Amino acid sequence: MTAKFSKKQPQYDYDAIVIGTGPGGEGAAMYLAKSGKTVAAIERYHAVGGGCTHWGTIPSKALRHSVSRLIEFNENPLFQVEEQVKGLTFSQILKHAAGVIHKQVRLRTGFYDRNLVKIYQGEARFIDNHHLEISNTDGSSYVLSAETIVIASGSRPYRPAHVDFTHPRIYDSDTILSLAHDPRHIIIFGAGVIGCEYASIFRGLGVRVDLVNTRDRLLSFMDAEISDSLSYHFWNSGMTIRHGEEFSHIEGRDDGVILHLQSGKKMKADCFLFANGRTGNTDMLALDKVGLEADGRGLLKVNGKYQTSIDNIYAVGDVIGYPSLASAAYDQGRLAGEAIVKGNLDGHLIADIPAGIYTIPEMSSVGKTEQELTAAKIPYEVGRAQFKHLARAQIANTSAGSLKLLFHRETLEILGIHCFGERAAEIVHIGQAIMMQKNGGNNLNYFVHTTFNYPTMAEAYRVAALNGLNRLF
């Protein structure tokens, strides 16, 4: 009688290990844990949340909120007593941000606890495609193993080698949160999302701001009218913007920083913020041990299931590049979890991912821009609503801004939504919900036939829809 032998499956410590506890890591860990998998998460920092919670999205938006409320207070005639202007320092508004971060960490730690996801603090690096070495700050280390590994290690500010970031007056978007003095003048190099948001924050505090842009216009991926609106408001607030510039070198001094531009210009300020790009956190992972290679910006390539070229290793979030949004990273994490559990994907990341830019005023958009529709020769029309005509905006004294709807002239299908002004990042989602409807549900007439609360900012959709329909003939 012939004996039958079954191949013994290898034993691992966990079904899955997730490297990083930012939005992408959290999304993957929670999906896997709720699917019955044993999951561990590796976090190099002392608390969960990743760069999103500790250095990026949450602190910058908390700072922006404080400054926005300060501006609102100073511009409200009810609070203008003997022409005295209320002021805040950067250090003061950092305290509010710290409180928000603490609440976020406590909330997210609870998620891991309730779902029995074990958190290990330390630096992870690959030994092979199933084993990770975790290094502690005291120099000790240990090994953990898993059937599947998800890389969600995030990103950090890009630092050119010839810029001295150890100088006490030279910052990146992480270290700016440790700014202890109150500058009167700051130079911000890089006018992307991060640079523009911090330019708004510092200008709102009364700091003189020089914003240096390497491109020919601000936020060129946005609809031109919307980005032009931001440029005007920056200019009108007294900010200096220099377009199409590259730096030659940055000279740190005891009393400030001098920026030397390749065009021959020189600029001097109390401090300097470098905000030009980000780098994926992959250099510490020993990717060569598993045959993975990151590109020049530390980013990994994945397929439609967020799987790398190594079958059991997945990657999500900033470490895979575009769209590099906290909102999208969480969805990517959940989708990677679904692919791991089911072997395929029923869902997918939506095609039209909304963009929210927390400048003062805010900007937000979803769908196509006018420039894209024109290039594609799609017959579209525009409906606009100016915030200054809305009762709610008049009551709140936030009349700067507008909502713009782009729709097909013949089918009335909404093709793009672009908003500039206070609460823009919230307002855009009303239109997004209609854009996502199928079988004729995406139609401009929805906003005409729907009754909105009055007064609200949402009413802008009815105003914009009627304005657009009036343009048709």
Distance in angstroms (rounded) separating the CA atoms of residues 243 and 235:
13
**Alpha-carbon distances of 343 from 33, 39, 328, 329, 362, rounded to whole Å:** 16, 18, 21, 20, 40
- The reply to whether 49 sits in an annotated binding site is yes
Distance in angstroms (rounded) separating the CA atoms of residues 400 and 422:
8
- The reply to whether 44 sits in an annotated binding site is yes
Residue 287: HSE in the Cβ half-sphere, 13 Å Cα cutoff? 24
DSSP result, 142-208: EEEEEEEEEE---EEE---TTS-TTSTTEEETTGGGG--S--SEEEEE--SHHHHHHHHHHHHTT-E
DSSP result, 109-151: HHHHHHTTPEEEESEEEESSSSEEEEE-TTS-EEEEEEEEEEE
DSSP H or E run through 231: helix 224-236
Number of H helices, E strands in the chain: 12, 22
- The reply to whether 46 sits in an annotated binding site is yes
Distance in angstroms (rounded) separating the CA atoms of residues 56 and 318:
12
DSSP result, 412-465: --EEEEEEEETTHHHHHHHHHHHHT--TT---THHHHHSPPPSS-STTHHHHHH
Distance of CA 239 to the CA centre of its chain: 23
Cα R_g (the chain), whole angstroms: 25
Say if residues 191 and 215 touch (Cβ distance below 8 Å). yes
Reference 152, options 349, 382, 316, 314; nearest CA is 316
> 198-237 b/e with 16+ CB inside 10 Å = b?
bbbbbbbbbbbbbbbbbeebbbeebbebbbebbbebbeee
Distance in angstroms (rounded) separating the CA atoms of residues 58 and 52:
6
Residue 327: phi, psi to the nearest 5?
A: -65, -45
- The reply to whether 47 sits in an annotated binding site is yes
- The reply to whether 45 sits in an annotated binding site is yes
Residue 407 DSSP class: E
Contacts of 175 by beta carbon, 8 Å cutoff, 6+ apart: 165
Residues across the chain: 473
Residue 113: phi, psi to the nearest 5?
A: -65, -45
Distance in angstroms (rounded) separating the CA atoms of residues 40 and 61:
30
- The reply to whether 43 sits in an annotated binding site is yes
Say if residues 190 and 355 touch (Cβ distance below 8 Å). no
Reference 30, options 142, 87, 132, 110; nearest CA is 110
What residues are designated binding site for FAD? 43-52
What residues are designated binding site? 43-52
